[in-house]
Amino acid sequence: MLQISAANHNFHSSDLTFADENSLQKMARKCRGDILRMTTLAGCGHPGGAMSSVDLLITLYACARVNSTQPADMERDRIIVSHGHTSAGVYSVLGNFGFFPIDEAIAHFRQAGSPYEGHVEHGLPGVEWSSGNLGQGLSAGCGMAVASLVHDLRNHVFVLMGDGEQQKGQISEARRFAVKYGLTHLTCVVDLNQLQISGSIRHVMPQNIRANFESDGWRVLEIDGHNFQEIYRAFHEAVHDRDHCVAIISRTVMGKDVSFMENVCKWHGQALPADLFAQAIAELEQVNDLDRYRQLRHLGTEHLTIRPRPPFQPDIATGGSFLYTPDKLTDNRSAWGKALAEITRQNLERESATPIAVFDCDLTGSVKTDGFAEINPRNFFQSGVMEHHTAVAAGALSTQDVLVFWADFGVFGVDEVYNQLRINDINETNLKLVCTHLGVDVGEDGKTHHCIDYLGLLHNLYHFKTIIPADPNQTDRAVRWLMRQPGNIFLGMGRSKCTVITKPDGSPFFDEHYTFHYGKADILREGADISVITMGAMAHHAVNVADTLAAEGIGAGVYNFSCAKQMDLDTLSRACQTGLVITYEDHNVHTGLGTMVADLLCRHGLAVKLHKMGIQDYVTSGEPKDLLTAVGLDEKTLNLTIRRMIEQYAKSVKETSDLEKTVKLAKNI
């Protein structure tokens, strides 16, 4: 096992000792052989970039403050590999440095059920962030560098990236963020091998990487990315420069050290066939031991383990609650902002409290993060119009023992950044995403701003919980609940002020005795004739309609399913007892609550007549109440729909009994 000298550990002295340089060179040769072993055995992968990046990786994992025996130590440096396709390079280094058995990584690379995935996987010790979609790693690095500020750590964050990857716009967002927040303990390294999948980076998409970094305020160093002394010195400079974020542009050679692979872009994403592997491994002066690994691969992957992130249990005091009374309209977003500010105040001086951080994308007043910003400005991150970056930075920070909120409009916090949220979900983050201005409630801003598809999008993300509270009281209690939860949670609300939902006696439904339970539905009104299933801003319309119909003797039950992704089956079964169900929502009718209800009804054999009321197409600008009328979601239309369904049902029952009578007559029974 490679042991670096104390002088070079943590980039302490300014030069690499001769002995350490020799050790790193030897290790590089071994790692290049292992990259080829892995990819040839798997018959796929990305050997070319892995071989150009590997000297940078070796220097980092050898000299940075990381320890294979304590890979989760809080004080460790964070190393993020943004060009996750170079996984064979990363695994070869981590395996040879003892983070896991190298033979295991070689034998099971890209095999079904194995943690040694095609793109780097955070379930492995030493891997901080699963990447694969290019352009996101620097944002993850920013999030982890913010964690150092929040926890007052003295560590360093390193991000490795490809050069083709630099074409991605999100990187410029991350560069600006890093400079604005003085993340001088963040260093990035660009592997400048001049090639990407389709050829030379100059032909695919010309760029000026150095100028891009410099114009955003970074200090840039240029080095030979295969010269260990130069690599080490650059890291040493970067780590000790407390005035700049430093980018190290490293000139490298794709396929380095195998003559026929060097500078050939075909090897970016292609494994060597067995005959070329034999040639290459001979050039690297190593034995061709592929058969041994083939045998190990045949053993399968059942014995391999993936380590989930350590559980996150925020310690937050959430005592008390605000009670909103029916005599006044209040918007849910104000209820969220007020609860956030009050809980922040409660926890600010508590020694054991988990730190809270809030990200905002230039919508502070609208998404009600201003109260937090005033109370805890140090942990408030104004990220401007940089949602892609923010989604990832906030997600990465949430893996570092910080309770992280990102508040935005629905169209920017979900639609704009769907893939970033997906990567967060894959990374098992603990992000609390709070989106306002959902549905057509945004009204006059028009169709670009009507977020009507968020529920369907978030339904795709296996680990995201969704909560769409019905009124300010439920919002307050949901915020208090989610403050103490691990995992990704979405809290959604509209823009307008809304009516406080009441019990039939006129008192608040979600009163001082109410506690939010994730997955529990609320029966807002009982009714034996028909059931309306709804959530969020539409709930009070359904209650109004039910109350009007009750006065005429029609029993419409109203069910608030604020947690659509974990539906309360008992309450759903109860709603189905009427035989008639309407789902009522201001979402895309194809992917919203109605479709989720229909799915559940089918899966559990609950037979009802179901009518889905939702949005059929994009909607124009207009006042929210007019838009609800335009799309057939106003109270009058709900009222008529309920009556029509009940009438049709009665008619069909009558027709059935008439038919039965006729049949009986015909049979002379």
Ligand X SMILES: Cc1ncc(C[n+]2csc(CCOP(=O)(O)OP(=O)(O)O)c2C)c(N)n1
The site for ligand X (CB under 6 A) is made up of: 46, 48-49, 83, 85, 132-135, 162-165, 191, 193, 195-197, 268
Minimum Å distance from CB 438 to ligand X?
28
Minimum Å distance from CB 196 to ligand X?
3
Residue 157's beta-bridge partner residues? 78, 186
Starting at the edge strand found earlier in the chain, the sheet holding 246-251 runs 78-81, 157-162, 186-192, 246-251, 219-224
* Pairwise CA distance, residues 528 & 597, whole Å: 19
Minimum Å distance from CB 542 to ligand X?
42
Nearer to ligand X, 209 or 631 (CB): 209
Nearer to ligand X, 396 or 645 (CB): 396
Which regions of 166-266 does DSSP assign to beta strands (E)?
186-192, 195-196, 199-200, 219-224, 246-251
Nearer to ligand X, 168 or 185 (CB): 168
Whether 250 and 59 have beta carbons less than 8 Å apart is answered as: no
Minimum Å distance from CB 119 to ligand X?
8
The token pair at 487 is: 């995992």
Minimum Å distance from CB 415 to ligand X?
17
Minimum Å distance from CB 419 to ligand X?
8
Nearer to ligand X, 164 or 624 (CB): 164
Nearer to ligand X, 85 or 389 (CB): 85
Minimum Å distance from CB 175 to ligand X?
16
For residue 389, give the 3-state DSSP assignment.
helix
Across 444-467, b (16+ Cβ under 10 Å) vs e yields eeeeebbbbbbbbbbbebeebbbb
Minimum Å distance from CB 253 to ligand X?
10
Nearer to ligand X, 165 or 568 (CB): 165
Nearer to ligand X, 56 or 537 (CB): 56
* Pairwise CA distance, residues 669 & 667, whole Å: 5
Q: Residue 86's closest CA among 274, 287, 309, 255?
A: 255
**114: Cβ–Cβ under 8 A, 6 or more apart, which residues?**
108, 301, 304
**62: Cβ–Cβ under 8 A, 6 or more apart, which residues?**
2, 4, 8, 20, 23, 24, 27, 97
Minimum Å distance from CB 85 to ligand X?
5
The 10 Å Cβ neighbour count of residue 591 is: 18
DSSP secondary structure code for residue 1 in this structure: -
Minimum Å distance from CB 176 to ligand X?
20
Nearer to ligand X, 118 or 326 (CB): 118
Minimum Å distance from CB 322 to ligand X?
43
Helix or strand run (H / E) with residue 202:
helix 201-204
Nearer to ligand X, 49 or 115 (CB): 49
Minimum Å distance from CB 117 to ligand X?
13
The 10 Å Cβ neighbour count of residue 496 is: 18
Q: Which amino acid is at 205?
A: M
The token pair at 170 is: 């999100």
The token pair at 12 is: 């302490």
* Pairwise CA distance, residues 593 & 613, whole Å: 10
Whether 387 and 410 have beta carbons less than 8 Å apart is answered as: no
Starting at the edge strand found earlier in the chain, the sheet holding 380-382 runs 380-382, 356-360, 403-409, 432-436, 488-492, 464-467
Cβ-closest residue to ligand X?
A: 162
Token look-up 């018959």 returns 43
Across 84-118, b (16+ Cβ under 10 Å) vs e yields bbbbbbbbbbbbbbebbebebbbbbbbeeebbbbb
The 10 Å Cβ neighbour count of residue 30 is: 18
Minimum Å distance from CB 333 to ligand X?
32
Minimum Å distance from CB 36 to ligand X?
15
Minimum Å distance from CB 235 to ligand X?
20
For residue 129, give the 3-state DSSP assignment.
coil
* Pairwise CA distance, residues 338 & 344, whole Å: 10
* Pairwise CA distance, residues 445 & 410, whole Å: 13
* Pairwise CA distance, residues 268 & 31, whole Å: 17
Which regions of 420-511 does DSSP assign to beta strands (E)?
432-436, 464-467, 488-492, 497-498
Whether 556 and 529 have beta carbons less than 8 Å apart is answered as: yes
Minimum Å distance from CB 162 to ligand X?
2
Nearer to ligand X, 47 or 410 (CB): 47
Nearer to ligand X, 80 or 615 (CB): 80
Nearer to ligand X, 49 or 410 (CB): 49
